Every structure is written in C-alpha cells, then in structure tokens.
Structure 1
Amino acid sequence: MVRLWWIPMLVAVPAPALAQQAATPDDDAEILVQGRAQQLYRTLVTTVGKSAQDPLDIPQALQVINHDLFVDQGARDATDLYRNISGVSAFSYAGVTFRGFRQDESFYDGMRGNPFIGFSVPQLFNIDRVEVLKGPAGLFFGPGAPGGIINYVSKTPSDRSALRTVVTGGTYARAGISSEATGRVDRDGVVSYRVGGFFEAMEPFRRNTLNKMLIGDAGLSIRTHPGGLLTLQVTAYDSYLRANRLRGVLVDDKGRFLTSIRWNANEKSDWLHLNSTAWSARYATTIGDAISFDAGVRRFKSTERQQYHEPRGRSTTNPDLVVREFRDQVRPVDGLSFMANATATTTLFGMAHRFQLGGDWYREDNGLSSRILRSGVLPLSLSNPVYGRSSGDALRARALPFTVTDTRARRVGAYAQDQISLTERLLLVAGVRWDRFEDAVRVATAGRVTSDSGYRDSDVTFRGGLIYRPRTDLSLYASWSEGFDPQAPASQNRDAGGPFAPVTGNQVEAGVKSRLLGGRLQANAALYRILRSNLLQVDPTRSPVNGVDPLSPIGEVTSKGFEVDLTTDITPRWVLLVNYGYNDTRVTDTVAGQAVTDAIGSRFANAPAHKVGFWTRYQLESIGTAFALGGEAVSSRISRSGQAVRPYAIFDASITKSLGFAELMLRVDNLFDKVYAASGFTRQTGHFPGEPRTVLAELRTRF
C-alpha cells in the first residue's frame, strides 16, 4: 500500500513563506471574477495537435475544459465533465460513448499511460485542463477508437507563490481536504515547484459502499535557458472502494429497476484497491522564432486488487434471488511511453508552411490473475437482501488455482503534417502517419499454458483538411481522417482463426468555429460521418476449433451526426454554456443473426440519439455571490443485452459566496432527486443507477 500520510505535512511546509508573500489588497482580494466565459472559459490555445495552436486552425472538432470550469462546477472526477462535451455520454466506470462508439483509453500530457486502470475513474485534482479531439485521432495519437480521444493535461510548477486549500463536506458522510502550493525554489525562479495532496472519503448511496481517495503530486520545473523548460513530476494514487467492483441494479426489459437503486450484489467484506504511481519528464524549447521542440517520457505502475461478488442474473426457480459468484482478481500494469514533436514555420514558393514532425513509442505489460468461486455462493434477494452470510467465500476461493493472463502490447509510430497558407484566408492541411504494433497474450492455469498467441502488423494512415477564415474570429473547415485499432489480443487466438488485421476506419467532417464579439461568443458546430470496418464476429459457416468459436472480419458500422457547442457572456456577469449532440450509429454490414461487440441488431449499446448539456452562472457583484444552474438530458438507449435504457433529464444548482479571504460553494446535484440509469450494461448485471440528490459544500482559500 502506498503511504501518503506525509502529503498534508509536506503541503503545509511552504505556508509561512507564502504568507509573507501574500497578495496585496488589490491583488486577488476578490476570488470571484466577473465575465467567467470571456476571461476564464475561453480557449485560445490547445495542444491537442501535439503543439500549441489556435483551435480555429485545426480542421476537426475539439473541446477544451479548463481548470476554472472545474472549480466553478465543483468537478471531482472525469464523470463530472461529460455533460460539458457534446457527443460524449457515460458507458461504464471510466469508459464513455464517444460519437456512438465505446471508448476506454485516455492520454496524459499527450502520452499513453492511464494510471486509472480497469475499473477506477480518473481524478481531476492534479489536472489543469481536459482536451477532447473528436473523431479518428490517429495522426497524432496512433491506434485507437474512432470516436475521439481525451487528453488530460497536468498542473505544473509555477514561479508564482501560491497556496490553495479546499475543505469539503456533504451528504453520504462526505468529507475531504486538499491543498496545493507553488513557488520558486531559488531567488531567480530558475527552479520552481508544485506540491499537492488530496484526500476524500464518503459512503455512497449503494449499500455497503465506502470510497476513499488519496492523491499525492509533486513536481519541479527547471528553466534551462530563456526558451527551454524541463518539468519533472511524480503522482501517486491510493483508491480504496469497499463493496466493489460495483455493478448495476437489475431492470426489466422496459428499463425499470426491479428494486431500490441502493441494492448492491457486494458484501461489506468485498473491496477494490488501486495503487498507482506515475512518473513523467517533459522538455520543451524554442529555437529562434521559427522552431519549437518538445519531448516526454512517462512511466506508470498500477495494481488493482479485487475481491467481490459478481451478479449472474436472476434465479430460474425464484426470480427474487440473484445468483452470484465470488471473484478474486489481481491486475498489475506496467507502462512506459516516449514522444517527441517538432514544429517549424517557414515560407516556400511564396506560401507560409507550418511543418510538424513527431514520433512516439509505448510498451505496456498487462496482467490478470483471476480465480472464480461458483459453487456454494449464496444468492441475494432483490426485495430483502441479507448481507454478512458470505464472508467465508474469500477463504474458500483461496483453494482454487489462479488463471493468469499476460498481455503484452507494443506501439511505435511517426507522423508528418504540413499546414500551408494557400492565401491569407485559405489553409490546406495534409498529414501522414506510419504505425507498427505488436500484441501477444498468454493464458496459464496452475502454471500450465493453455493459450499463447500474438500478432504484429503496420499501417499507414492519412489526414487532410481545408480551413477558410473569412475573418480572424471565424473559420469554416472540412476534413478527412483515417484511423485503425488493433483487434483485442485475445481475439488473435489461432483456434479462432487469428491473427486478424486491425479494425480500420475513416471520418468525413465539416464544421464552423467562431470566437465572435471580441471573444464573448464562442460557437462551434460540426457535421460528421464515421465508417468503421473489419470488426470481428463469430462466423456461422465454420465449426468451433478446440471449443473456440471461429471469428471473421465481417462487420461494418456507420456513425453519423452533428454537434453544437456554445459558450457566451450574455452580460458581463452572466455566462452560459450549452452543447447538443445528435448521433445515429448503426451496423451497416454484418452476417444475419450475428452482432458485433456492443451492438444489438443494428443498434449500438449506450449510444443515445440525442444528448443536451448546459451550465449557466450569474454573479451578483453587490453581494459577492454567484448562482449557477446546470443540467443534462439523454435520450433512450439500449443495453448490451438489448434492454431499454430509459431517457432522463437531471438538474444541478450551486451558490458561491465570497468571504473575502475565501469563498464558500454549496452545490446540489440531481436537484429533483430523479431516479434514472446513467447507462446500461447487461441483463445479468443490470443498469448503472445515477446518483440521487446529493449536497456538497466547499470552503476554498487561496493566498
């Protein structure tokens, strides 16, 4: 277990020095700031294209959610942000539905290496902003799902002395404290630091549950010369979730819960424990006025341990009982990532060019040791669950051998892109990327290897686009981009007919981006079509081999839709954010009677046709108070088993009061206590219920 008890003490060390350097009465005396969208929410620069660039010059839809919006909304983890992103909705745990497709992978500072493996959700304490690039992002990020990527950009050291502390409390016994400090190590600010600690505990609404999250984050930045900066960072996470791995609550075919949403298949003795540490080093420099270069390395090691009761559906003899099995699992992951990028601007043949070159390499060793106890595990009643009678299941499971699955993945790629100013208003973008991957999986039970397979391949993908800027604050664009995603290593089993070529895909997109009225109005719209081919399905024309169903690449999926995002200052004190996404994702080519993963017939699981999110905040400067209201509406969906997932609309509200030396925020989520399913899963495990009405209070101080 990672010991992080020292973090609050470490954070407190700089406090005396910071107190001496506290802001003057005219500097940061008022924490609340008017015109939040224009001054704080507006996005002028993004690095989602691997180098700093104006979003209006990127021929693809994107969104950037910065730290100021985190603070105003009281966001804690990634799930708190989905309502701000058009085309994105919850799937399960940290996974999302992204333009109709399931997406589980995240990037940190432009590199692979998500420390929240398996069934844990990314936290936002040490995150400065979240960048979302929509559609195939293979040119810059390599193989992946076609819906898009989410890139978490870390907070970094600063030479400005500052100390921020937040104390939280709320319903479900919620209590926590966090603190972070930045400042100079030396008088000239050549070396600066950041150190932070976060702790929060609560007993959520599901029976038997208890969540504890502990984060420690420290970093140093070293200015090597006026244009160069080296940043070193280490972050440790310790997450303990009692009565987890948390599954859903069973529903009928119309999506109605069969019992209270507090129901949980897990005993109080069940648990999930994640220990994770990530180290990173990033160097960025400029060479004159025309060239910039950056390189990074990221290493992480995570271990997620689980002992829990898995629901296996209702009993055939008594529908009030849910059959269960006990699972004991260990998931170690070791990942290492490198990247390097260079950007140069020059003039050739009378036209301005912006060249980008880069490459990345990633290694991940992923393990799963699992043993499952199926006999003698007591079922659990839906109407009157009685807990505490299954504490011996963990001891009995120890007599079983572990089945060990070792998965090894290697990725290497390089890209080149040129952005050409054909005229002052017309830009042409063209890029190419080469990738090579190697995947292997070995399965052994009690030391005996039962399966050993692997596959390697390479691919070349392209990206092109046109951007027309009739005004400096408006751009119209059209683009075409390709991507691919290697088949799951387990699917490369030779008995199943493997190895198989990757899933391929492309997207055609057109849209408009704007930053009008001096930045007061930021409005974007996009229309897209994604085609994904080569998906594997069971081949009904062939017989099983050694008990393994044969697979064939006989699936195709088409996703079509449009999205609108609006951020505006209605008045200097009133801000509004609205997003809407329409999506139609369907299987367009398949074998009769077969379905691709996460699809039922022609429809995809957890892919809503309509999703709306909004957030508005009004500040009464005369009393130093801001009032906010937010909401999300999601249309009907289906689960992975074809059960209905009912539509829902929920609303949140908050009040933030300036106290001079601090500010106090009171937030109420699910204002009208709506009972709803955030997403569907399977018939055996049910739908994931959304949180009932909850109250959160934050006291924030900053010096």
Structure 2
Amino acid sequence: MYKRNKLAVCLSLPSLIVSGHLAAQQLTDDIEKIEVTGRAQQFYLETESKIGTKTNMSLLELPQSAQVLTEQLIIDQAARNITDLYRSIAGVSEFSYSGVTFRGFRDDANVFYDGVRGDPYSGFGVPQLFNVTRVEVLKGPASALYGGGEPGGMINYVTKSPSFNEKRELKLTLGDYATRGASLDMTGALTEDTAYRLGGFYEQEDSFRNNADAKNTEIVGGLTFNLGDATTLTTTVDWIKQNLGGNRLRGVPVDDNGNFLVPPSYNANEKGDYQNMEALVLQAKLNHYFTDDFYVDSTLRYLDNERNQGYHESRSWVDVNGDGVANIDDQTIRREYRKQYRANKELSLTTDFGYLLNNGNIEHQLLFGTDMHTVDTEYDYSFARYEAAGIKNLNIFTLNYGLTDPSTYDLVDQERDGVDSDRFGIYLQDVIKFNEKWTLIAGLRYDHFKEYNQETGYSYSDHDVTPRAALTYQPKDDLSVYINYSESFNPTSANDQEDVISDGSLQPEKGKQTEIGMKNFWLDGKIMNTFAIYRINKENVVMANPNDTGTGDGIPALLNIGEVESNGFETTMVGDITDNWTITANYAYNDTRVIQGVTGVNITNTFGEGTKFANAPRHQIGLWNRFELESIDSSIAFGLNYVSEQLSLAGQKVKPFTVFDMSWTSRWDELLLSINVDNLFDKEYAVSGFSERNGHFPGSPRKVIAQLTYQF
C-alpha cells in the first residue's frame, strides 16, 4: 500500500513554486508577453508531429496514416476521458473499458505517454485527460520504432508541461448523474531560466449503471530548467487516485439479434463492489544539442501503480425451471466474487540521437535510439464461487441486490504471484530526402523480451527484428502520395508459454502491413485531407486448441493456428471550411477475417475459417462541426458517431448505431461557459459485445455537462 512519504514530492512542490514565484514576480513583469488570439477552430488542424518518425516531420510528408487530436478539440467536445474521443479517430472503435478495436484488431496495451511505455491506468482503468494536451494516433504496425504490440496501431498521450507563459485557469463542472468537479491549472516563470506548472483535478459522478459511481483525483506539478542555450530539462510528477464503485463492469444480456433483455442500467455488481487505483508517475525529459545538427532526447519515466478490486462476476445460468437446460430463460445467474490486488513498479528509459547530414544534394535525417521497460509486479487473488460460498444468485429481471455480504464469503486464496517482464530495444532510422519531391524512410529495430513467473519460477525470453520502409512523392507543395510497408511482433506471455512447455514454444504473433495513401491541403492550407488503403496480415495467432479436452490428455491448450487478414480504407478531413466553420470528419471501412483457421470450429472460438473478427465494425463515421457566432462571441457545434453492425465474442449481433451530440460555448472576457449534450436523442445502443452470459456493453444515455472556465 502507499505510504505517506510517497507524496512528499507532490506536497513539497507547491511551497517551492509559491516562494519562487514571489521572488521572480518582478522579473517576469519584464519578460515580453506574447498573447496569441484567434478563432478556436484554427487549432483543430495540427500539421506536424513526432509520432511517426520520432523526429519533427510534417504530417503531409509522413508516409503513414496518423491523426493528432488537439487540446482545443478536447476542450470543445468536453472530453474528460479517452472514450469521449474515439469518434474522432478513423478506424478506432470501443471494445471494452479503455481497450479499442484498431483496424480490426483488439488492442489494450499499445499505449504510450510522451513516447514511452508506462500507462498509469493499466488494468481496467480509463485514462483521464486533465493532464493531456493532445492525443496522437499512429495507424498500422509501430514496432519498428516502439517495440512489440498489435498491428492495428498505437496511441500516444502528450502530457502538459511547465511553461514560461503566465496562465491560471480554474474550471468548474456540473452535470447529469450528480456530476460535479473542479480543476485548477497554473504555469509561469520562477526565474529567467526556470518555469513551473501546478495543477489539481477532482471529479465525481454517478453512473447510469446500477451500483456504479466514480471519483477521480489528480495532482500534477513540474519544473523546466533551461541549462544553457543548448540544454533543457523538464521534470514532472503526477499523482492519480481513481475510485470506481461497482465498476468492474460487464455488459447487459441480449438476444441473438442484439436486443437488450433487461434495461441498460443492469449491472451484476453489488453496491459495495469496488475498483480502486492509485498511481505515482515521476518523469524527466532531457534535450541537448551538441551542434545545430546533432542532438539527444532522453526520457526517464517511473511508475508506481496499485489496484484493489472486489467484484461479483457472472458465471453461468441456473436451471430454475428444471428442464435440464440452463439458459437465459431461467432468468437467474450464478456469480462468483473475486478479490484481487495488483501492483506494478515500472521503469522506462528512451534515448534518441538525431543527426542531420547533407551529402551533396541528398539530405539524411538519421535517428539512432534505444529503449528499455521493466515491470515488477505483485498479484494476490482469491475468490468465492457460487452458492456454496454464500453468494446469492442474481435474478436479472427482478434484481435482488443486497442479499449477499462479501465479509461472510468463504474465500479461496489462489496463492498467485506476479509476472515480471523486461523489454529492451535498439533501432535505426534514416529519412532520406532526395529532393523536394522524393523522400524515403527506412528503419530497422531489434527487440529482446523476457518474462519471469514469480509463482512457478518459469522464465521465457524471445527476440525479433522488425523492418519498415516507406516512400513519399510530392508533386506539389500541398499534395503527397506514399506507399508504406511495416511489420509488428507481439511476444507470447510466459503464462501462455508455460501452458505448452511440453510441446515446444509458441511463436510470437507477427503482423505485416502494406499501406498506400494520399494527403493534401485545401483552401490555402486551411483543410487537410488524408486517404489510406491498407492490408494487414497477422500470423501465428495464439488461440485455444479446439482439440484440447482439458483432462491431461497431453494435447496442448494453445496453438499458433492461423492467420487473420484486415483490409480497409480510411479518409479524414480536418480544418476550416470558412472563416466561421470548422470540421473534423472521418470515414473508415474495414473487413477483418480469419483466412487460415480450423475448419468446422464454432464461432465462439473466434477462429473458424472465414470467421469475421469480434467487435470489428465494417463501417464507421465520425463528424464534428463547429460554427462560430462572432456577433455574440459564441459558437455552436454538432457531432455524429456511426458504427455499423458487429459480432460479439459469442457470435451475437451488435446492432448498428448512430449517436448525435452538440455543444454551445459563450465567452465574456475571462469567462468561458460551455454546455455539451452527449447522445442528444437519448439513443439506446451497445458500443460492443462480450460473452453470452455478460451480454453487450451499453452506450451512455443522454447526458448534459456544463463547464465554467475562468482565466486569471
């Protein structure tokens, strides 16, 4: 558990900042202040990002599909966690919790902060956006730069930093479901060479799901030091506390046509169930220029994360009517109670050396980098199963909450320990600019991966090499076309390897993508449009062996048994159509299917030949329009999110849905009022599907959120 001295850094930072700020007040009065004003919608379009090459590159030149969701878009949509933004990302849909379907593939772990691994919300938490200034999304395999992961893409959260600009912002939030909260964010100069940031955030809300609520607290601070003309050091601290009552949420039971059988408010959890998380993140970023053409960027990130959970999990139907078949017609479901403690101590270090070399008419932008990520875990797990342990069955139609008490359960300790992992990678990339029209990117990465099971003492290691090559042609300054080939690998866990140790090791899952695309600017650079066509093949997919009886027959439980193919295209448009009308819009088509599998396997295996992958919609549309009303210093916006039919993990239909949103903002000097209405027409829908007994994950009903922001 956390001890009080773990917050010493957080609690001592404010006194340092206040005393330094007073001492430097006269100094900062003399510093030239530059204030940028303009229409909010000008900030939707971001034209540069490091996400695709780890170097500053125009998104027009980047030969890969990528999106940047700016801070202004986050503000305008009143996005408070990442799930609020999925409609703005082409080819991404919600799977469960913060996990997504990325170009057809489920991805829960390919998450980075400031370009390095270390997600404080890992383990069923949902990332909050108070400390995030923008969200960067790279589509397709990213292993050539970022290491092992799924081939659909990756998400990078860019956190807010200290600034020499004096800014103080107070925000109050009030909304449906007893939503209320407040945040304070301050930046400025302490000395001529030292800047600070200090912020705090708190919000609580009930849920439309029974027995569920949420409380989120975050305290952040940071200092930036200019250590000479060529060196900058930024240190930050981030303390997060997330208490989720009854929030190890599963879905709502449905029929095979995707119709909810009970109201979407259904929840198998009891009122006292909980999912509590506390995390401390310490980070240091160093940038140094040896010469104008030679630099180093290095980021060190330490994460201490603890999660406690106690919740009721649906297990199986009870044969109440005595017909010999237990199914949903019996209305009553068995539950087990799970009590879990997880703790991660993670350390990440990423160091990149960049060198700009001119060789005659050819320009090379060389990148040499290395990264490491270690995770030391603790894991305790106990459970109580069904009626024998004192757990009352739940009637899903006539809910009988409150008849069961976890303090009386006969918990069985599973005596499990954690799995420690170590990753190390080294990579090289060259961006070769032959002339103003042709650019080639070539990259190669070596990864080494090792896991150790503390419970059994089993150790497993693996390695791989992943290449990447891409060519861009710019016939005009505002138009580019490209072709990209990239690979990914995802090593198998030690737990899975141990299951098949007597039968030889499992091969890492590997992905290969070919992408062809076009990007162009319209209206003198006010609008950027992208179009990409891709094919991804994922091989060596690890799945349950359909021939395994689980009776010690010597048949392996897991196999590398096939290949999945994802075909699709995406298009996005971001920017200003007129002086008063801005837009961000996207459309994605995707078809992800098993092309090599096990003939005759039921779809519940998700690996029958020709099977369409679960929670992989074929069509998606995301739209957000904002219209500026200059005469009254206000704006109005309308949004749309469409997701076509999907299949759950149990093969049940997930019905298509269209949800509309809107917002209104008005400004009076330093005050900004925004009112956002999500799910304007109160549509009942499911965002994705799960198992038959757990049903589909319901979307939120209509919700109104008002925010008042005061800058002083």
CA RMSD in angstroms, aligned pairs only = 2.6
Indicate how the Cα distance of structure 1 residues 15 and 76 shifts in structure 2: closer, same or farther if over 3 A, else same. farther
- Ranges in structure 2 where 5+ consecutive residues have no aligned partner: 322-329
- Find the aligned partners of 2:77 and 2:238 in 1 and give their Cα distance: 24
User: 2:324 — aligned with what?
Assistant: none
Shift of 1:9: 11
8 Å CA contact retained: 2:21, 2:189:
no
8 Å CA contact retained: 1:600, 1:640:
no
What whole-Å deviation, never above 9, does each CA across 1:62-117 have from its counterpart, x for those lacking one? 00111111111111011011000000000000100000000112101111110102
Shift of 1:405: 3.5
- Find the aligned partners of 1:16 and 1:290 in 2 and give their Cα distance: 35
User: 1:584 — aligned with what?
Assistant: 591
| Matching residue's letter, 1:503 | E
SS in 2 for 1:492: helix
Moved more, 507-516 or 530-539: 530-539
User: 2:70 — aligned with what?
Assistant: 66
8 Å CA contact retained: 1:307, 1:394:
no
Matched, 1:164 2:169: yes
Equivalences for residues 3-22 of structure 1 within 5 A: 10=14
User: 1:127 — aligned with what?
Assistant: 132
Equivalences for residues 651-662 of structure 1 within 5 A: 651-662=660-671
| Matching residue's letter, 1:191 | T
SS in 2 for 1:140: helix
Moved more, 319-328 or 539-548: 539-548
User: 2:582 — aligned with what?
Assistant: 575
Indicate how the Cα distance of structure 1 residues 350 and 23 shifts in structure 2: closer, same or farther if over 3 A, else same. closer
Moved more, 571-580 or 419-428: 419-428
User: 2:702 — aligned with what?
Assistant: 693
Out of 281, 284, 289, the residue aligned to residue 278 of structure 1 is: 281
8 Å CA contact retained: 1:14, 1:181:
no
Matched, 1:404 2:407: no
Provide the aligned length of Structure 1 versus Structure 2.
687
Indicate how the Cα distance of structure 1 residues 381 and 548 shifts in structure 2: closer, same or farther if over 3 A, else same. farther
Moved more, 652-661 or 349-358: 349-358
User: 1:326 — aligned with what?
Assistant: 337
SS in 2 for 1:139: helix
Shift of 1:136: 0.4
Matched, 1:103 2:107: yes
Shift of 1:541: 6.1
Shift of 1:542: 7.0
User: 1:560 — aligned with what?
Assistant: 567
Moved more, 542-551 or 530-539: 542-551
Shift of 1:661: 2.1
8 Å CA contact retained: 2:116, 2:349:
yes
Out of 186, 189, 205, the residue aligned to residue 181 of structure 1 is: 186
- Find the aligned partners of 1:507 and 1:207 in 2 and give their Cα distance: 43
- Find the aligned partners of 1:618 and 1:285 in 2 and give their Cα distance: 43
| Matching residue's letter, 1:593 | G
Matched, 1:525 2:539: no
- Find the aligned partners of 2:684 and 2:285 in 1 and give their Cα distance: 45
SS in 2 for 1:404: coil
Moved more, 40-49 or 88-97: 40-49
Shift of 1:679: 1.2
| Matching residue's letter, 1:663 | L
What whole-Å deviation, never above 9, does each CA across 1:390-417 have from its counterpart, x for those lacking one? 12x244245x224314212111111111
| Matching residue's letter, 1:129 | R
Indicate how the Cα distance of structure 1 residues 549 and 250 shifts in structure 2: closer, same or farther if over 3 A, else same. farther
Matched, 1:649 2:658: yes
Out of 368, 380, 387, the residue aligned to residue 401 of structure 2 is: 387
- Find the aligned partners of 2:554 and 2:185 in 1 and give their Cα distance: 53
- Find the aligned partners of 1:583 and 1:549 in 2 and give their Cα distance: 35
8 Å CA contact retained: 1:611, 1:633:
yes
Shift of 1:366: 3.1
- Find the aligned partners of 1:134 and 1:402 in 2 and give their Cα distance: 40
User: 2:639 — aligned with what?
Assistant: 630
Shift of 1:594: 4.0
Shift of 1:583: 0.4
- Ranges in structure 1 where 5+ consecutive residues have no aligned partner: 444-450
| Matching residue's letter, 2:447 | D
Indicate how the Cα distance of structure 1 residues 9 and 108 shifts in structure 2: closer, same or farther if over 3 A, else same. closer
Out of 442, 452, 468, the residue aligned to residue 430 of structure 1 is: 442
Shift of 1:314: 3.0
- Find the aligned partners of 2:34 and 2:101 in 1 and give their Cα distance: 43
- Find the aligned partners of 1:523 and 1:571 in 2 and give their Cα distance: 15
8 Å CA contact retained: 1:537, 1:596:
no
8 Å CA contact retained: 2:248, 2:311:
yes
Moved more, 588-597 or 680-689: 588-597
| Matching residue's letter, 2:197 | R
8 Å CA contact retained: 1:218, 1:233:
yes
- Find the aligned partners of 1:610 and 1:548 in 2 and give their Cα distance: 43
- Find the aligned partners of 1:419 and 1:583 in 2 and give their Cα distance: 30
Shift of 1:120: 0.4
| Matching residue's letter, 1:526 | A
Shift of 1:29: 10
Relative to the length of structure 1, the TM-score reads 0.93
SS in 2 for 1:403: coil
User: 2:627 — aligned with what?
Assistant: 618
User: 2:688 — aligned with what?
Assistant: 679
8 Å CA contact retained: 2:44, 2:575:
no
- Find the aligned partners of 2:21 and 2:440 in 1 and give their Cα distance: 54
Indicate how the Cα distance of structure 1 residues 369 and 620 shifts in structure 2: closer, same or farther if over 3 A, else same. same
- Find the aligned partners of 1:439 and 1:555 in 2 and give their Cα distance: 24
- Find the aligned partners of 2:250 and 2:393 in 1 and give their Cα distance: 15
8 Å CA contact retained: 1:574, 1:617:
yes
SS in 2 for 1:606: coil
User: 1:340 — aligned with what?
Assistant: 351
- Find the aligned partners of 1:194 and 1:699 in 2 and give their Cα distance: 21
Indicate how the Cα distance of structure 1 residues 462 and 265 shifts in structure 2: closer, same or farther if over 3 A, else same. same
8 Å CA contact retained: 1:7, 1:216:
no
Moved more, 323-332 or 306-315: 306-315
- Find the aligned partners of 2:464 and 2:261 in 1 and give their Cα distance: 48
Shift of 1:160: 0.9
Equivalences for residues 544-555 of structure 1 within 5 A: 546=552, 550=556, 551-555=558-562
Shift of 1:593: 3.4
What whole-Å deviation, never above 9, does each CA across 1:548-576 have from its counterpart, x for those lacking one? 75122121000010000001312111111
Matched, 1:668 2:682: no
Indicate how the Cα distance of structure 1 residues 559 and 10 shifts in structure 2: closer, same or farther if over 3 A, else same. same
Indicate how the Cα distance of structure 1 residues 228 and 596 shifts in structure 2: closer, same or farther if over 3 A, else same. farther
- Find the aligned partners of 1:238 and 1:171 in 2 and give their Cα distance: 22
SS in 1 for 2:72: helix
Indicate how the Cα distance of structure 1 residues 355 and 379 shifts in structure 2: closer, same or farther if over 3 A, else same. same
Shift of 1:292: 2.5
8 Å CA contact retained: 1:599, 1:605:
yes
- Find the aligned partners of 1:456 and 1:45 in 2 and give their Cα distance: 37
Shift of 1:685: 1.4
Out of 148, 156, 161, the residue aligned to residue 153 of structure 2 is: 148
Relative to the length of structure 2, the TM-score reads 0.92
Out of 82, 94, 97, the residue aligned to residue 98 of structure 2 is: 94
Equivalences for residues 338-487 of structure 1 within 5 A: 338-348=349-359, 350-374=361-385, 375=388, 376-391=390-405, 393-398=406-411, 400-443=412-455, 451-487=456-492
Indicate how the Cα distance of structure 1 residues 667 and 539 shifts in structure 2: closer, same or farther if over 3 A, else same. closer
Indicate how the Cα distance of structure 1 residues 369 and 657 shifts in structure 2: closer, same or farther if over 3 A, else same. same
- Find the aligned partners of 1:41 and 1:415 in 2 and give their Cα distance: 32
Shift of 1:547: 6.7
8 Å CA contact retained: 2:13, 2:221:
no
